Amino acid sequence: MKCTLCPHHCTADRAETLGFCRAQREPEAATICIHKGEEPPLCGNKGICNVFFSHCNLQCIYCQNHQISSGSPTPRFIGVDAIVDEIARLLPQTENMVGFVTPSHYADSLPSIVEGLHARGLYPTIVYNTGGYDSVETLQMLAPYIDIYLPDYKYSLPDLARRYSHAADYPDVALAALREMYNQKGSSLPTDEDGLAYRGIIVRHLVLPGQVENSLGVLDTLADISLNLHISLMAQYYPPLPNLPDQLGRTLTPDEYQQVVDHLNTLGLSRGWVQELDAQANYRPNFTHQQAF
Ligand code: SF4
């Protein structure tokens, strides 16, 4: 089967060869673990069962999860059944939520995973945690299976998207994906009596050092979709690798971050979360360990 799952449209037959994401047909998870570092309505007190898929369809040069987006270390869980087994084992210890992290290149396996959980009598809230480079057709296929979309919107500047993530069309493609998510879920984020979300969208944006203009454009775009969108503004960037270009070799300055926060407030995007600048020291996963966080 020629793969057109994501907007790269490689048409690679993944049983025979590899496309841009370098993923084979069978879904591979580098790790599956309980994570307590997501936004509060997504993890509550007990956390969310996150499936960290191997490989990625963006390959950002500064990827904070570069150990797994590159396909190593060796995936711990291969195939739908193995992934369902591990989710089922961990789910009772969580807030009954499952996060599919960087799932775009395995989107065609997600319905089988969700149905496998249902077959065991498990009905968790399903979170689709994506870099944002998704095709509208794939999102429409996924609509019955996803409760909450958690997309990034990384770039407003095509040249930056090209240089950092090999996808000059990211601003337009990710915007079309966001509009599809919005069509499916709207802007509300309803929660249960424990404050846990069960439907909706949260859009994340990681502010990059030296790229304030990009972030201001991102917020302008999100404001155009709806001022009621829930936005998670993130300051946690740190240089995950040596010899990165531009100013990617450092963390954000307080002034850079404040400019973006001020713009968020000026636009009236008042729903969501603004990370503290000291988050830079807190998000440093190591996926070579059984417990990555
Ligand atoms: S999912 Fe992978 S192989 Fe398929 S179109 Fe996207 S990058 Fe290419």
| String of DSSP letters for 242-253 | SS-STTTTS---
Give residue-wise pLDDT tens across range 128-149.
999 999 999 999 999 999 999 9
Residue nearest to atom 2 of ligand 1 (CA): 21
Residue nearest to atom 1 of ligand 1 (CA): 105
pLDDT of 291 above 80: no
Ligand 1 touching residue 19 (CB < 6 A): yes
**pLDDT class of 1 with cuts at 50, 70, 90:** confident
* DSSP 8-state code for residue 68: H
pLDDT of 293 above 60: no
Which residue pairs from 257-260 have beta carbons closer than 8 angstroms and sit at least 24 positions apart in sequence?
257/207, 259/212, 259/216, 260/207, 260/212, 260/215, 260/216, 260/219, 260/233
Instruction: Determine contact, residues 107/80, Cβ cutoff 8 Å.
Output: no
Mutate to test the pocket of ligand 1, among 9, 105, 106 (most ligand atoms within 8 A of CB): 105
Domains of the chain with bracketed CATH? 2-281 (3.20.20.70)
Mean pLDDT, the chain, integer? 94
pLDDT score at 68: 81
Mean of pLDDT values over 20-35: 94
Mean of pLDDT values over 110-123: 98
Atom index in ligand 1 nearest the CA of residue 23 equals 2
Considering only residues 268 and 72, tell me which one the structure prediction assigns the higher pLDDT: 268
pLDDT score at 70: 77
Atom index in ligand 1 nearest the CA of residue 4 equals 5
- pTM of the full predicted structure? 0.95
Atom index in ligand 1 nearest the CA of residue 10 equals 8
Considering only residues 3 and 64, tell me which one the structure prediction assigns the higher pLDDT: 3
Ligand 1 touching residue 12 (CB < 6 A): yes
Ligand 1 touching residue 105 (CB < 6 A): yes
Mean of pLDDT values over 176-182: 98
Distance from Cα 254 to the centre of ligand 1, integer Å: 37
pLDDT score at 264: 98
Give residue-wise pLDDT tens across range 45-56.
999 999 999 999
Ligand 1 touching residue 6 (CB < 6 A): yes
Give residue-wise pLDDT tens across range 214-271.
999 999 999 999 999 999 999 999 998 999 999 999 999 999 999 999 999 999 999 9
Atom index in ligand 1 nearest the CA of residue 12 equals 3
pLDDT score at 65: 85
Atom index in ligand 1 nearest the CA of residue 9 equals 5
Distance from Cα 30 to the centre of ligand 1, integer Å: 18
**pLDDT class of 282 with cuts at 50, 70, 90:** low
Residue nearest to atom 4 of ligand 1 (CA): 3
Residue nearest to atom 6 of ligand 1 (CA): 6
pLDDT score at 14: 95
Atom index in ligand 1 nearest the CA of residue 14 equals 3
